[in-house]
Amino acid sequence: KAGVTQTPRYLIKTRGQQVTLSCSPISGHRSVSWYQQTPGQGLQFLFEYFSETQRNKGNFPGRFSGRQFSNSRSEMNVSTLELGDSALYLCASSLAPSGGGYEQYFGPGTRLTVT
């Protein structure tokens, strides 16, 4: 089985721009979660989608949004980028919602740098 893929792998944007990141889950997985990883802060939960519905949202401003398509692929969007948005963005897929005890399979991440 192919693993979780994320595109692009690296991205450099300037403040005020917007960005869209993409995540393709493992075939058959219907749940996709997104995390922001920065040094010292660990993995901070952004949102989780299951069957095209957002199930949970983390404590991030409304500039962060996402969606899931019928084929379970997911995108996240960040508008009006700020320097503090520079981070590694990881997505993870699982058969069912993550909190139910299903293993999460992570993608390689997208490294976003905001200048």
Partner 1 sequence: GENVEQHPSTLSVQEGDSAVIKCTYSDSASNYFPWYKQELGKRPQLIIDIRSNVGEKKDQRIAVTLNKTAKHFSLHITETQPEDSAVYFCAPSFSGNTPLVFGKGTRLSVIA
Q: Where do contacts with partner 1 occur on this chain (CB under 8 A)? A: 33, 35, 40-45, 48, 55-56, 58, 90, 92, 96-101, 103-104, 106-109
Which tokens is 89 given?
């963005």
- For the chain, the straight-line distance linking the first and the last C-alpha, in angstroms and rounded, comes to 37
Of 25 and 109, the one with the shorter C-beta distance to partner 1 is 109
Task: State both tokens at 109.
Answer: 């991440």
Q: Is 66 exposed, middle or buried (0-12, 13-18, 19+ CB in 10 A)?
A: buried
Q: 5 or 20: whose CB is closer to partner 1?
A: 5
Question: Please, which residue, 47 or 81, has the CB nearer to partner 1?
Answer: 47
CB of 40 to partner 1, least distance (A): 7
| Minimum CB–partner distance for residue 79 and partner 1 (Å) | 23
C-beta of residue 24 within 8 angstroms of C-beta of residue 4: yes
Q: How far apart are CA 113 and CA 72, in angstroms?
A: 27
Q: How far is the CB of 17 from partner 1 (least distance, A)?
A: 26
